[in-house]
Chain A
Amino acid sequence: MDFSIFNRIFLNTGFAHLTFGNVLMWLIALTFIILAIKKNYEPLLLVPIGFGMFIVNLPLTELMEEGHLLWVPYHYAIAHFDLIPPIIFMGIGAMTDFGPVIANPKTILIGAAAQFGVYITFFGALLLGFSLHEAASIGIIGGADGPTTIFLTAKLAPHLLGATAVAAYSYMAMVPIIQPPIMKLLTSKEERKIKMKKIRQISKLEKIGFPLVATLIICLLIPPAAPLVGMMMVGNLFKESGVVERLSNAAQNELINIVTIFLGLCIGATMPASVFLRPQSLYIFFLGLIAFSISTAAGLLLAKLMNVFLKEKINPLFGAAGVSAVPMAARVAQVVAMKEDKSNFILMKAMGPNVAGTIGTVSAAGLFLSLLS
């Protein structure tokens, strides 16, 4: 009997090509899926990322080979043409209320200070041997904004896309774990108890015009930020105009859901064992954590500094909301404030720096692109 046919069949199965790295990646993928399902950590992203990571580590599946299923959306909608991150921003814009920013514009500065971690980590990455392009992509993790991280990394260092995206989304999911100790360390009990005045009512006309004003200012100053800012603001205009409810609903539901599926699967699929299991990935996770922690601290410290000059003191806890994990960071500020005083509601006010943080991170990404392209 000729056994060579069995040998040939075996060689055509994935089993013959399985490596220890593949199995390790299955375990990492499984961890992501379990964290998403059991702990509810960014499930919308971690479930498809986990599955994408799992399937790309099944040998011979070729899903990320040129022309194949996941290569097509990855190549045409993420890596070479920035389509998916701006569409996600359109959905975010359609879901965001910019009222707290309009009512209290001084909180915008906190969103700028919270980008400090981005730049400190940029230097950290350079010291660890990363190139300028790679360091910028790693630093932007500190903004805690997944779509912006993907947008920038796809342009500057596409080979790091998997690690930076997963780090950004992981730290966004871990905001309630990472931020509170830093908040408690840098503020006193009295500061955490500060109550702030109710924010003023914003008229409909103010809300309708805001996306146009913000787009005009940011896109004139930083044109490379236009895809993200423009899409976020058009999404917001859909919402606030009140006359295109169908478009607003599509942007914040069907459209964002569809692109999130492809984004998650494609990002997961950029992590075959041969690419992901390198010391570089560990450095990226470590640097991302440093970036995120410094950004949190910088927002808090600027809020404290502002209190030196302001007549009406602000609760420095909402400085931590200057990172752009919307609305998680604002919710964490609320939870920590309520631990000191159950009647202290700062959530709506904290949404101001939170949304400003998103604009700050997009601006930082735009400036990196301006300076490196």
Chain B
Amino acid sequence: MVNWGKAFEMFFIGFGGVFVTLIILQLGIILYSKIINGIENMMKKKG
């Protein structure tokens, strides 16, 4: 017998989890790029 409760839990947590993970990764990359670009611009200005 298939445990449909567990199956739906896997769908929502699984697929939702993939989205949440990749959204956090996306935000992380945006933030990281901003920090690095900021540092690089500052270093260019300094010298």
Could you tell me which A residues sit within 8 Å of B by CB distance? 101-102, 105-106, 108-109, 111-112, 115-116, 118-119, 122-123, 126, 131-132, 135-136, 203, 205-206, 209-210, 213-214, 216-218, 221-222, 356, 359-360, 363-364, 367-368, 371-372
Contacts and interface: CB of A to CB of B under 8 A. Distances in A.
Question: Mostly helix, strand, loop or mixed at chain A's interface?
Answer: helix
A115 B18 contact: yes
Contacts of B39: 205
A350 to B, nearest CB: 17
Given A106-B26, A218-B25, 8 more contacts: A102-B29, A105-B30, A119-B10, A123-B7, A126-B4, A217-B24, A218-B21, A371-B9
B2 A214 contact: no
B22 A111 contact: yes
A122 B17 contact: no
Contacts of A203: 36-37, 40
A210 B10 contact: no
A371 B22 contact: no
A119 B17 CA distance: 12
A122 B7 contact: yes
13 contacts: A105-B26, A108-B22, A108-B26, A112-B21, A135-B7, A136-B10, A203-B37, A206-B33, A214-B25, A216-B28, A359-B25, A363-B22, A367-B13
A371 B14 contact: yes
Nearest to A205: B36
Contact of B22 (A122, A206, A210, A360): A360
Contacts of A206: 32-33, 36-37
Given A112-B22, A136-B10, A209 B36 contact: yes
A214 B3 CA distance: 34
B32 A209 contact: yes
Given A111-B22, A356-B22, A132 B15 contact: no
Contact of B15 (A101, A119, A213): A119
Contacts of B20: 221
Most chain B C-beta atoms within 10 Å of own C-beta, residue among A111, A135, A359, A367? A367
A126 B7 contact: yes
B18 A126 contact: no
Contacts of A136: 10
